[in-house]
A and B are shown apart, each in its own frame.
Chain A
């Protein structure tokens, strides 16, 4: 079956702009999580959505937001981009309430802010 699909794979933006990243989870998965990965901070949790509701949120400023649609697809948005937002953004999906499943990650979107 198809894995987690993230688009676009690469993106270059300038400071001050905004960006929207997309994630299509595995069919049937209702939980979608977003992570930011940078060389200095490692993998950091951004937020998690389940059934169109944000269920968990990490320690990121309000410039980072997200949403989930009825088909479980999710988007995250970063407004007023800063150089420090350059990172690999990873999306992961999972069946909810199933202790026998881990998370399946996508290949990520590499965002470069110049």
Chain B
């Protein structure tokens, strides 16, 4: 699985968009980008994933650059409940079940 690099921490004002970056410069053509988040003392929660096209669901949007070397998770209207550690993971889907979680980004949403 490709290695990812994320900033250790970010702050965001409540109601504003939170943009969380992830670098994955060694990504292979068949590797997907997945995002999870972990709220304190809970198991990680799946947010979104994509291969090369931008994706959107009810929780967030995922923007993947054309060269696929980086991506951005966007929470359009952050709330206090979005305060969590956000993990960007790159892996081949057929190898599902073995994900390498890095240190993630601790997002703090402030009132």
Contact = CB atoms under 8 A, between A and B. Distances in A.
A56 B44 contact: no
Given A56-B95, A96-B96, A99-B93, A105 B101 contact: no
A31 B101 contact: no
Interface string B53-88: 000000000000000000000000000000000010
B97 A102 contact: no
Interface residues of B, number: 24
Contacts, number: 61
Contact of A45 (B36, B42, B44, B100): B100
Interface residues of A, number: 27
Contact of B101 (A4, A42, A99): A42
Interface of A: 4, 31, 33, 35, 42-45, 48, 50, 55-56, 58, 90, 92, 94, 96-97, 99, 101-108
Interface of B: 32, 34, 36, 42-49, 51, 87, 93-103
